[in-house]
DNA sequence: ATAGATGCAAATGTTTTGCAGGAAA
DNA sequence: TTTCCTGCAAAACATTTGCATCTAT
Protein backbone atom coordinates (compact mmCIF):
# COMPACT_ATOMS: atom_id res chain seq x y z
CA UNK A 1 0.00 0.00 0.00
CA UNK A 2 1.40 3.35 -1.06
CA UNK A 3 0.63 6.75 0.47
CA UNK A 4 1.52 5.72 4.00
CA UNK A 5 1.56 9.28 5.26
CA UNK A 6 -1.93 9.99 4.00
CA UNK A 7 -3.34 6.76 5.38
CA UNK A 8 -1.78 7.59 8.71
CA UNK A 9 -3.55 10.96 8.62
CA UNK A 10 -6.85 9.25 7.90
CA UNK A 11 -6.39 6.78 10.72
CA UNK A 12 -5.55 9.58 13.08
CA UNK A 13 -8.75 11.35 12.08
CA UNK A 14 -10.83 8.20 12.51
CA UNK A 15 -9.37 7.63 15.92
CA UNK A 16 -10.07 11.12 17.19
CA UNK A 17 -13.67 10.80 16.02
CA UNK A 18 -14.17 7.33 17.42
CA UNK A 19 -14.75 5.95 13.93
CA UNK A 20 -13.51 2.67 12.56
CA UNK A 21 -10.70 1.71 10.27
CA UNK A 22 -12.09 -0.54 7.56
CA UNK A 23 -10.83 -2.17 4.37
CA UNK A 24 -13.38 -0.25 2.33
CA UNK A 25 -12.27 3.12 3.63
CA UNK A 26 -8.66 2.26 3.01
CA UNK A 27 -9.37 1.03 -0.52
CA UNK A 28 -11.42 4.10 -1.44
CA UNK A 29 -8.83 6.49 -0.07
CA UNK A 30 -6.05 4.63 -1.87
CA UNK A 31 -7.84 4.71 -5.23
CA UNK A 32 -8.65 8.38 -4.71
CA UNK A 33 -5.00 9.19 -4.02
CA UNK A 34 -3.80 7.19 -7.02
CA UNK A 35 -6.22 8.98 -9.33
CA UNK A 36 -4.56 12.24 -8.26
CA UNK A 37 -7.34 14.63 -9.00
CA UNK A 38 -10.77 15.43 -10.37
CA UNK A 39 -12.08 11.89 -10.27
CA UNK A 40 -15.85 11.46 -10.26
CA UNK A 41 -17.80 9.42 -7.74
CA UNK A 42 -18.74 7.01 -10.48
CA UNK A 43 -15.16 6.48 -11.70
CA UNK A 44 -14.02 6.05 -8.14
CA UNK A 45 -16.68 3.43 -7.58
CA UNK A 46 -15.67 1.56 -10.74
CA UNK A 47 -12.01 1.51 -9.80
CA UNK A 48 -12.62 0.45 -6.21
CA UNK A 49 -14.84 -2.31 -7.56
CA UNK A 50 -11.84 -3.83 -9.31
CA UNK A 51 -10.47 -4.62 -5.87
CA UNK A 52 -13.66 -4.94 -3.86
CA UNK A 53 -16.35 -6.29 -6.20
CA UNK A 54 -19.11 -6.00 -3.65
CA UNK A 55 -18.53 -2.44 -2.58
CA UNK A 56 -21.57 -0.21 -2.97
CA UNK A 57 -22.02 3.27 -4.35
CA UNK A 58 -23.24 4.22 -0.93
CA UNK A 59 -20.00 3.44 0.79
CA UNK A 60 -18.00 5.40 -1.78
CA UNK A 61 -20.18 8.46 -1.29
CA UNK A 62 -20.17 8.15 2.48
CA UNK A 63 -16.42 7.70 2.58
CA UNK A 64 -15.75 10.66 0.29
CA UNK A 65 -17.93 12.78 2.52
CA UNK A 66 -15.92 11.61 5.49
CA UNK A 67 -12.64 12.38 3.70
CA UNK A 68 -13.93 15.87 2.92
CA UNK A 69 -14.83 16.39 6.58
CA UNK A 70 -11.34 15.22 7.49
CA UNK A 71 -9.86 17.75 5.08
CA UNK A 72 -8.28 14.94 3.05
CA UNK A 73 -10.42 15.50 -0.05
CA UNK A 74 -12.22 18.38 -1.67
CA UNK A 75 -15.53 18.07 -3.49
CA UNK A 76 -16.11 20.06 -6.71
CA UNK A 77 -19.12 20.33 -8.97
CA UNK A 78 -18.43 21.34 -12.52
CA UNK A 79 -21.13 21.59 -15.16
CA UNK A 80 -22.52 18.15 -15.87
CA UNK A 81 -23.90 17.38 -12.46
CA UNK A 82 -21.43 14.86 -11.05
CA UNK A 83 -19.32 15.36 -7.96
CA UNK A 84 -15.57 15.25 -8.52
CA UNK A 85 -12.91 14.99 -5.86
CA UNK A 86 -9.46 16.48 -5.66
CA UNK A 87 -6.56 16.32 -3.26
CA UNK A 88 -6.64 19.59 -1.30
CA UNK A 89 -3.88 22.06 -2.09
CA UNK A 90 -3.51 25.81 -2.34
CA UNK A 91 -6.38 27.81 -3.76
CA UNK A 92 -7.02 27.57 -7.48
CA UNK A 93 -9.70 27.70 -10.15
CA UNK A 94 -10.33 25.58 -13.26
CA UNK A 95 -10.39 25.49 -17.03
CA UNK A 96 -12.70 22.72 -18.27
CA UNK A 97 -12.73 21.31 -21.79
CA UNK A 98 -16.33 20.78 -22.82
CA UNK A 99 -15.33 18.31 -25.50
CA UNK A 100 -12.90 15.89 -23.84
CA UNK A 101 -13.53 16.72 -20.21
CA UNK A 102 -9.94 17.69 -19.47
CA UNK A 103 -9.57 19.83 -16.38
CA UNK A 104 -6.67 22.23 -15.89
CA UNK A 105 -6.03 24.22 -12.74
CA UNK A 106 -4.97 27.83 -12.71
CA UNK A 107 -4.23 30.42 -10.11
CA UNK A 108 -4.51 34.18 -10.49
CA UNK A 109 -3.68 36.62 -7.74
CA UNK A 110 -5.11 39.50 -9.72
CA UNK A 111 -8.54 37.92 -9.86
CA UNK A 112 -8.45 37.15 -6.15
CA UNK A 113 -7.73 40.78 -5.45
CA UNK A 114 -10.49 41.94 -7.75
CA UNK A 115 -12.93 39.59 -6.02
CA UNK A 116 -12.08 41.04 -2.64
CA UNK A 117 -12.64 44.51 -3.94
CA UNK A 118 -16.01 43.58 -5.41
CA UNK A 119 -17.13 41.87 -2.22
CA UNK A 120 -16.20 44.99 -0.28
CA UNK A 121 -18.03 47.24 -2.72
CA UNK A 122 -21.27 45.28 -2.21
CA UNK A 123 -20.73 44.69 1.50
CA UNK A 124 -20.57 40.93 1.08
CA UNK A 125 -18.55 38.72 3.34
CA UNK A 126 -17.37 36.06 0.90
CA UNK A 127 -17.04 32.50 2.20
CA UNK A 128 -16.14 30.69 -1.00
CA UNK A 129 -16.32 31.10 -4.70
CA UNK A 130 -16.65 29.27 -7.92
CA UNK A 131 -14.74 30.27 -10.99
CA UNK A 132 -14.67 28.01 -14.01
CA UNK A 133 -13.81 28.72 -17.63
CA UNK A 134 -15.45 26.31 -20.11
CA UNK A 135 -14.17 25.85 -23.64
CA UNK A 136 -11.92 23.77 -25.84
CA UNK A 137 -8.49 22.62 -24.73
CA UNK A 138 -5.54 22.88 -27.16
CA UNK A 139 -5.94 19.28 -28.41
CA UNK A 140 -9.66 19.67 -29.02
CA UNK A 141 -9.21 23.03 -30.71
CA UNK A 142 -6.71 21.49 -33.15
CA UNK A 143 -8.93 18.47 -33.74
CA UNK A 144 -11.20 20.55 -35.98
CA UNK B 1 -50.87 42.72 -20.38
CA UNK B 2 -47.66 44.62 -19.93
CA UNK B 3 -44.37 44.05 -21.77
CA UNK B 4 -45.89 44.39 -25.24
CA UNK B 5 -42.52 44.70 -26.91
CA UNK B 6 -41.22 41.49 -25.38
CA UNK B 7 -44.36 39.55 -26.20
CA UNK B 8 -44.12 40.76 -29.77
CA UNK B 9 -40.57 39.45 -29.90
CA UNK B 10 -41.75 36.06 -28.60
CA UNK B 11 -44.56 35.91 -31.15
CA UNK B 12 -42.16 36.77 -33.91
CA UNK B 13 -39.89 33.93 -32.80
CA UNK B 14 -42.77 31.45 -32.58
CA UNK B 15 -43.90 32.42 -36.04
CA UNK B 16 -40.50 31.97 -37.67
CA UNK B 17 -40.22 28.52 -36.07
CA UNK B 18 -43.74 27.46 -36.99
CA UNK B 19 -44.64 27.16 -33.32
CA UNK B 20 -47.89 28.20 -31.71
CA UNK B 21 -48.94 31.11 -29.60
CA UNK B 22 -50.69 29.82 -26.50
CA UNK B 23 -52.13 31.25 -23.31
CA UNK B 24 -49.67 29.23 -21.25
CA UNK B 25 -46.62 30.55 -23.04
CA UNK B 26 -47.88 34.08 -22.72
CA UNK B 27 -48.62 33.66 -19.03
CA UNK B 28 -45.25 32.10 -18.27
CA UNK B 29 -43.35 34.75 -20.19
CA UNK B 30 -45.35 37.51 -18.49
CA UNK B 31 -44.68 36.15 -15.02
CA UNK B 32 -41.02 35.72 -15.88
CA UNK B 33 -40.76 39.33 -17.03
CA UNK B 34 -42.58 40.64 -13.96
CA UNK B 35 -40.25 38.72 -11.66
CA UNK B 36 -37.37 40.58 -13.28
CA UNK B 37 -34.55 38.24 -12.55
CA UNK B 38 -33.20 35.09 -10.92
CA UNK B 39 -36.54 33.39 -10.46
CA UNK B 40 -36.45 29.62 -10.02
CA UNK B 41 -38.50 27.18 -12.05
CA UNK B 42 -40.44 26.28 -8.95
CA UNK B 43 -41.29 29.90 -8.06
CA UNK B 44 -42.24 30.55 -11.64
CA UNK B 45 -44.54 27.56 -11.58
CA UNK B 46 -46.16 28.73 -8.34
CA UNK B 47 -46.80 32.20 -9.64
CA UNK B 48 -48.14 31.07 -12.97
CA UNK B 49 -50.42 28.73 -11.07
CA UNK B 50 -52.11 31.73 -9.45
CA UNK B 51 -53.47 32.57 -12.89
CA UNK B 52 -53.61 29.13 -14.51
CA UNK B 53 -54.33 26.63 -11.74
CA UNK B 54 -53.97 23.64 -14.02
CA UNK B 55 -50.65 24.48 -15.56
CA UNK B 56 -48.01 21.81 -15.12
CA UNK B 57 -44.39 21.89 -14.17
CA UNK B 58 -43.64 20.38 -17.54
CA UNK B 59 -45.03 23.31 -19.46
CA UNK B 60 -43.08 25.80 -17.40
CA UNK B 61 -39.81 23.95 -18.03
CA UNK B 62 -40.52 23.48 -21.71
CA UNK B 63 -41.46 27.10 -22.14
CA UNK B 64 -38.39 28.38 -20.32
CA UNK B 65 -36.24 26.21 -22.55
CA UNK B 66 -37.99 27.70 -25.56
CA UNK B 67 -37.46 31.23 -24.24
CA UNK B 68 -33.77 30.45 -23.76
CA UNK B 69 -33.51 29.21 -27.33
CA UNK B 70 -35.23 32.38 -28.46
CA UNK B 71 -32.68 34.45 -26.53
CA UNK B 72 -35.43 35.91 -24.37
CA UNK B 73 -34.27 34.25 -21.16
CA UNK B 74 -31.03 32.98 -19.71
CA UNK B 75 -30.69 29.92 -17.53
CA UNK B 76 -28.33 29.94 -14.55
CA UNK B 77 -27.44 27.28 -12.02
CA UNK B 78 -26.15 28.52 -8.72
CA UNK B 79 -25.26 26.19 -5.87
CA UNK B 80 -28.37 24.47 -4.61
CA UNK B 81 -29.31 22.68 -7.77
CA UNK B 82 -32.27 24.63 -9.07
CA UNK B 83 -32.40 26.40 -12.40
CA UNK B 84 -32.94 30.14 -12.24
CA UNK B 85 -33.83 32.41 -15.09
CA UNK B 86 -32.83 35.96 -15.83
CA UNK B 87 -33.62 38.52 -18.49
CA UNK B 88 -30.62 38.60 -20.83
CA UNK B 89 -28.45 41.70 -20.62
CA UNK B 90 -24.77 42.56 -20.86
CA UNK B 91 -22.29 40.12 -19.39
CA UNK B 92 -22.05 39.92 -15.63
CA UNK B 93 -21.30 37.60 -12.73
CA UNK B 94 -22.96 37.09 -9.35
CA UNK B 95 -22.68 37.45 -5.61
CA UNK B 96 -24.97 34.99 -3.82
CA UNK B 97 -25.98 35.20 -0.18
CA UNK B 98 -25.92 31.70 1.29
CA UNK B 99 -28.21 32.73 4.13
CA UNK B 100 -31.10 34.64 2.53
CA UNK B 101 -30.56 33.69 -1.10
CA UNK B 102 -30.15 37.25 -2.30
CA UNK B 103 -28.41 37.51 -5.67
CA UNK B 104 -26.49 40.60 -6.74
CA UNK B 105 -24.94 41.10 -10.16
CA UNK B 106 -21.52 42.59 -10.70
CA UNK B 107 -19.35 43.33 -13.65
CA UNK B 108 -15.56 43.58 -13.68
CA UNK B 109 -13.57 44.39 -16.77
CA UNK B 110 -10.33 43.56 -15.01
CA UNK B 111 -11.43 40.00 -14.35
CA UNK B 112 -12.56 39.56 -17.95
CA UNK B 113 -9.14 40.65 -19.12
CA UNK B 114 -7.40 38.30 -16.70
CA UNK B 115 -9.56 35.42 -17.90
CA UNK B 116 -8.58 36.04 -21.48
CA UNK B 117 -4.95 36.06 -20.53
CA UNK B 118 -5.28 32.80 -18.63
CA UNK B 119 -7.13 31.12 -21.49
CA UNK B 120 -4.37 32.18 -23.84
CA UNK B 121 -1.68 30.94 -21.50
CA UNK B 122 -3.23 27.45 -21.45
CA UNK B 123 -4.26 27.46 -25.11
CA UNK B 124 -7.95 27.20 -24.26
CA UNK B 125 -10.63 28.67 -26.44
CA UNK B 126 -13.16 29.78 -23.84
CA UNK B 127 -16.84 29.51 -24.73
CA UNK B 128 -18.42 30.54 -21.47
CA UNK B 129 -17.61 30.86 -17.83
CA UNK B 130 -19.05 30.68 -14.43
CA UNK B 131 -17.99 33.03 -11.69
CA UNK B 132 -19.92 33.20 -8.45
CA UNK B 133 -18.99 34.55 -5.03
CA UNK B 134 -20.86 32.94 -2.14
CA UNK B 135 -21.12 34.56 1.26
CA UNK B 136 -23.25 36.79 3.48
CA UNK B 137 -24.96 39.89 2.15
CA UNK B 138 -24.84 43.11 4.22
CA UNK B 139 -28.21 42.45 5.91
CA UNK B 140 -27.27 38.90 6.87
CA UNK B 141 -23.84 39.95 8.09
CA UNK B 142 -25.44 42.52 10.43
CA UNK B 143 -28.06 40.05 11.63
CA UNK B 144 -25.49 38.31 13.76
C1' DA C 1 -20.47 -6.83 23.78
C1' DT C 2 -21.29 -2.66 21.42
C1' DA C 3 -20.94 1.31 18.70
C1' DG C 4 -20.25 1.91 14.25
C1' DA C 5 -19.99 0.40 9.05
C1' DT C 6 -21.82 -1.82 5.08
C1' DG C 7 -24.82 -2.83 1.17
C1' DC C 8 -29.09 -3.41 -0.65
C1' DA C 9 -33.37 -1.32 -1.84
C1' DA C 10 -36.12 2.48 -1.70
C1' DA C 11 -36.47 7.50 -1.35
C1' DT C 12 -35.04 12.10 -2.76
C1' DG C 13 -35.25 16.27 -5.64
C1' DT C 14 -35.06 18.34 -9.98
C1' DT C 15 -35.76 17.99 -14.67
C1' DT C 16 -37.12 15.27 -18.84
C1' DT C 17 -39.80 12.10 -21.68
C1' DG C 18 -43.83 9.15 -23.42
C1' DC C 19 -48.20 9.43 -24.57
C1' DA C 20 -53.21 10.33 -25.21
C1' DG C 21 -56.16 14.01 -25.43
C1' DG C 22 -56.72 19.10 -26.65
C1' DA C 23 -56.02 23.46 -28.99
C1' DA C 24 -53.98 26.73 -32.48
C1' DA C 25 -53.15 27.49 -37.34
C1' DT D 1 -57.44 18.72 -40.31
C1' DT D 2 -52.98 18.77 -39.41
C1' DT D 3 -49.32 20.08 -36.64
C1' DC D 4 -48.12 21.42 -32.46
C1' DC D 5 -49.15 21.75 -27.11
C1' DT D 6 -50.44 20.35 -22.75
C1' DG D 7 -50.62 17.77 -18.53
C1' DC D 8 -50.33 13.66 -16.28
C1' DA D 9 -47.64 9.84 -14.95
C1' DA D 10 -43.44 7.64 -15.30
C1' DA D 11 -38.47 7.83 -16.25
C1' DA D 12 -33.89 9.73 -15.58
C1' DC D 13 -30.01 10.74 -12.97
C1' DA D 14 -26.94 11.58 -9.07
C1' DT D 15 -27.00 11.22 -4.47
C1' DT D 16 -28.99 10.05 0.17
C1' DT D 17 -31.46 7.43 3.65
C1' DG D 18 -33.72 3.36 6.16
C1' DC D 19 -32.76 -0.75 7.83
C1' DA D 20 -31.15 -5.35 8.85
C1' DT D 21 -26.77 -7.41 8.98
C1' DC D 22 -22.03 -7.55 9.73
C1' DT D 23 -17.48 -6.08 11.82
C1' DA D 24 -13.80 -3.44 14.18
C1' DT D 25 -12.85 -2.29 18.63
Per-residue model confidence (pLDDT) at position B57: 93
Quick one: pLDDT at residue A142? 87
Q: What is the pLDDT of residue B144?
A: 64
Average pLDDT value for residue range A6-35: 97
- Among A24, A135, A32, A134, residue whose Cα is nearest residue A75: A32
* Domain final residue pick, B86, B117, B134: B86
| B81 lies in the same domain as B111 | no
Among B72, B77, B73, smallest CA distance to B86 is for B73
> Closest nt to A63 (CA→C1')?
C5
Q: Are A132 and B130 in contact (CB under 8 A)?
A: yes
Q: How far is the CA of B5 from the C1' of D14 (A)?
A: 41
Residues A45, A104: one domain? no
Q: pLDDT value at position B37?
A: 85
Q: Which residues of B touch A129 (CB under 8 A)?
A: 131-134
- CA–CA dist B39, B143 (Å, integer): 25
Cβ of B41 less than 7 A from strand C: yes
Residues with CB under 7 A from strand D: A 20-23, 40-42, 57-58, 61-62, 65, 77, 81-83; B 14, 18-20, 22, 24-25, 52, 54-56, 58-59, 62-63
The C1' atom of D2 and the CA atom of B71 lie apart, in whole Å, by 29
Contacts of A141 in chain B (CB under 8 A): 123-125
Q: What is the mean pLDDT of the segment spanning B79-105? A: 94
pLDDT at A59 over 90: yes
Q: In chain A, helix, strand, coil percent, each to 5?
A: 50, 20, 30
What are the pLDDT digits (tens) for B27-61? 999 999 999 889 999 999 999 999 899 999 999 99
pLDDT digits (tens, 9 = 90+) for B59-77: 999 999 999 999 999 999 9
Q: Is the dihedral of CA A16, A20, A22, A25 positive or negative?
A: negative
Is the Cβ atom of A19 within 7 Å of strand C at any atom?
yes
CA distances from B57 to A3, A95, B87 (A): 50, 34, 20
Find the helix or strand (DSSP H, E) in which A11 lies. Answer: helix A4-17
Range from A36-40, A69-73, B10-14, B91-95 carrying the lowest mean pLDDT: A36-40
> Which residue, of A86, A101, A129, is where some domain finishes?
A86
CB spacing of A133 vs B124 below 8 angstroms: yes
**Number of domains chain B is built from:** 2
Q: What domain range is B133 assigned to?
A: 93-142
CB atoms within 10 A of CB B100: 12
CATH number reported for the structural domain that contains residue A104 in this entry: 3.30.1490.190
Enter the pTM of the model: 0.91
Q: Residue A2: its pLDDT value, please?
A: 87
- Helices assigned H by DSSP within chain B: 4-17, 23-35, 41-51, 57-69, 109-122, 138-142
Same domain, A107 and A55: no
Residues A20 and A71 in one domain: yes
pLDDT score, position B1: 65
Cα separation of B41 and B57, whole Å?
8
Amino acid sequence: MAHEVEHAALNRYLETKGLKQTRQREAIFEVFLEASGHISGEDLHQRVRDRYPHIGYTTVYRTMKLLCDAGLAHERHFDGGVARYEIPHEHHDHLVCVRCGKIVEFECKMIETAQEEIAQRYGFQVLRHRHELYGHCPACTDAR
